[in-house]
């Protein structure tokens, strides 16, 4: 059992509506962590600009949508701090100070830099200082709150190690201040998209947390299943069916046993299997939808949550940055009278 003082920091970019892949990959862990740790979750709108700098209008639009999805998924402002990255200006100052001693080679070897740049080549120009240097901003986001743990998947460990390297370099050059946050490895339940590819809003193959069952139903009914099962009388293989992972995550064990038996023995057709999934999905999404509708009917509450979170985050950020300025000899107390 962890102590109440242990802190966790994580963020998410407001670039579009969240889907079931986000829920099972990230949010289900965030919700569990808020019960045990001092959690700070931030809307990473500055990070969104690293790739969306040419079309920033949509970012602000998705900020309240993102927070509504978080609360609908189970985050509670009484149990965690939710805040808006760009409103805590100390993040930018800490990024600037970190950038002074972060070697260029550290950024160029970042595996995500080449991967994402290659994926979007031709669609977006990511040969920018902001995109190359985003890990420094990420380190500032994390280290600002001096957390013990950062929830990450196995594929994100190189990013966290860069944050740890920046913390080590700062502590070596000046005096120790930052802990080297450890990875809180979280098992992400992977859910394929409706067409069998990775679930992504850009592929148009996702079920969004904000959608009604009227919107979800035609998606499920047209969903790709076992391609080897051409007719109902053909035995199927749930392990090769794009639909079955949804049942694994949202259908109770008893019904899953029935589905496996009916599929492999060709007594249950894919249409009936999809109808059973719709029942499970409806029961799963309905509580989320109810929490979201409450916020949609009172949008001011979303901004109130962020304002309260911003105040908490700002207090902690200012405390850290004051210590940083002292260590890098930039705390000019002689000028303090001019600040009042």
- Average pLDDT value for residue range 6-13: 95
CB burial readout 84-95, b (16+ within 10 A) else e:
bbbbbebbebbb
In angstroms, the Cα distances linking 102 to 97, 139, 140, 147, 173 are 9, 11, 12, 20, 12
Predicted pLDDT of residue 117? 60
For 314-336, write each residue's pLDDT tens digit: 999 999 999 999 999 998 887 76
- How many whole angstroms separate alpha carbon 228 and alpha carbon 241? 9
Please give the Cα distance from 137 to 144 (Å, whole number): 10
User: In angstroms, how far is the first alpha carbon of the chain from the final one?
Assistant: 44
Residues of the chain with CATH 3.40.50.620: 7-191+299-339
**Helix H or strand E encompassing 165:** helix 157-173
| CA 111 distance to own-chain centroid | 19
Mean pLDDT of all residues in the chain? 91
Confidence of residue 340 (pLDDT cuts 50, 70, 90): very low
Check pLDDT > 70 for residue 337: no
Q: How far is CA 80 from CA 44, 45, 76, 184, 210, in A?
A: 16, 19, 6, 17, 22
List, in order, residues 6 or more apart from 202 with CB less than 8 Å away.
none
Q: How far is the C-alpha of 274 from the C-alpha of 290, rounded, in Å?
A: 23
Per-residue pLDDT tens digits for 20-69: 999 999 999 999 999 999 999 999 999 999 888 888 888 999 999 999 99
In angstroms, rounded to a whole number, what is the distance separating the alpha carbons of residues 26 and 29? 6
In the prediction, which pLDDT does 138 show? 96
Summarize pLDDT for 99-136 with one digit per residue, the tens: 999 999 999 888 776 666 666 565 677 788 998 999 99
Packing angle of the helix pair 134-143, 157-173 (nearest 10 deg):
70
- Cα–Cα distance, 337 to 340 (Å, whole number): 6
The architecture that CATH gives domain 7-191+299-339 is 3-Layer(aba) Sandwich (3.40)
Q: pTM, whole model, 2 decimals?
A: 0.91
- Predicted confidence at residue 57, as pLDDT, reads 87
| pLDDT at site 2 | 41
* Interatomic CA distance for residues 38 and 60, integer angstroms: 27
Contact 284, 56 (CB under 8 A): no
- CB proximity list for 35: less than 8 A, separation 6 or greater: 79
Is 3's pLDDT higher than 50?
Answer: no
**How sure is the predictor about 232, in pLDDT bands with cuts at 50, 70 and 90?**
confident
Q: What is the DSSP string of 110-149?
A: -HHHHHHHHHTTTT----SHHHHTHHHHHHHHHHTT--SE
- Dist. CA 68–CA 198, nearest whole Å: 24
Cα–Cα distance between 229 and 236 in angstroms, integer? 6
- Please state the rounded mean pLDDT for residues 199-212: 89
Write out the residue limits of the CATH 1.10.240.10 domain(s) in the chain. Answer: 213-294
Q: What is the CATH number of domain 213-294?
A: 1.10.240.10
Task: Provide the pLDDT for residue 333.
Answer: 80
For the chain, what percent of residues have pLDDT higher than 70?
94
- Nearest partner of 241 among 218, 216, 264, judged by Cα: 264
Query: What would the pLDDT profile of 137-177 be if each residue is shown by its tens digit?
Result: 999 999 999 999 999 887 788 889 999 999 999 999 999 99
Considering only CA atoms, give the Rg of the chain.
23
Mean pLDDT of 273-300: 95
């Amino acid at each position: 059992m962890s102590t109440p003082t242990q802190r966790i920091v994580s963020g998410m970019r407001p670039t579009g509506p969240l889907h079931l892949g986000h829920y099972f990959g990230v949010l289900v862990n965030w919700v569990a962590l808020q019960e045990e740790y001092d959690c700070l979750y931030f809307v990473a709108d500055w990070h969104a600009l690293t790739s969306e700098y040419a079309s920033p209008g949509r970012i602000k639009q998705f900020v309240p949508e993102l927070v509504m999805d978080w609360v609908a998924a189970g985050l509670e402002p009484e149990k965690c701090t939710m805040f808006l990255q760009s409103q805590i200006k100390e993040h930018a100052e800490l990024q600037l100070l970190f950038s002074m001693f972060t070697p260029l080679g550290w950024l160029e070897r970042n595996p995500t830099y080449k991967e994402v740049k290659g994926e979007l080549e031709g669609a977006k120009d990511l040969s920018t200082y902001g995109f190359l240097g985003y890990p420094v901003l990420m380190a500032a986001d994390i280290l600002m709150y001096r957390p013990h743990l950062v929830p990450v998947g196995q594929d994100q460990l190189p990013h966290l190690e860069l944050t740890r390297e920046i913390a080590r370099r700062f502590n070596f050059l000046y005096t120790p201040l930052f802990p080297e946050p450890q990875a809180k490895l979280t098992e992400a339940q992977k859910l394929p998209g409706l067409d069998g590819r990775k679930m992504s809003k850009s592929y148009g193959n996702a079920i969004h947390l904000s959608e009604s069952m009227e919107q979800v139903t035609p998606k499920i009914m047209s969903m790709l299943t076992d391609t080897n099962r051409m007719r109902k009388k053909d035995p199927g293989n749930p392990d090769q069916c794009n639909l079955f992972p949804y049942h694994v995550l949202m259908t109770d064990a008893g019904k899953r046993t029935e589905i496996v038996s009916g599929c492999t023995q060709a007594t249950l057709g894919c249409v009936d299997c999809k109808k059973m999934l719709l029942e499970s999905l409806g029961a799963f999404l309905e509580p989320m939808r109810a929490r979201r509708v409450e916020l949609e009917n009172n949008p001011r509450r979303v901004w109130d949550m962020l304002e309260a979170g911003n105040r908490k985050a700002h207090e902690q950020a200012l405390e850290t940055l004051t210590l940083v300025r002292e260590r890098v000899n930039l705390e000019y107390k002689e000028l303090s009278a001019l600040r009042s």
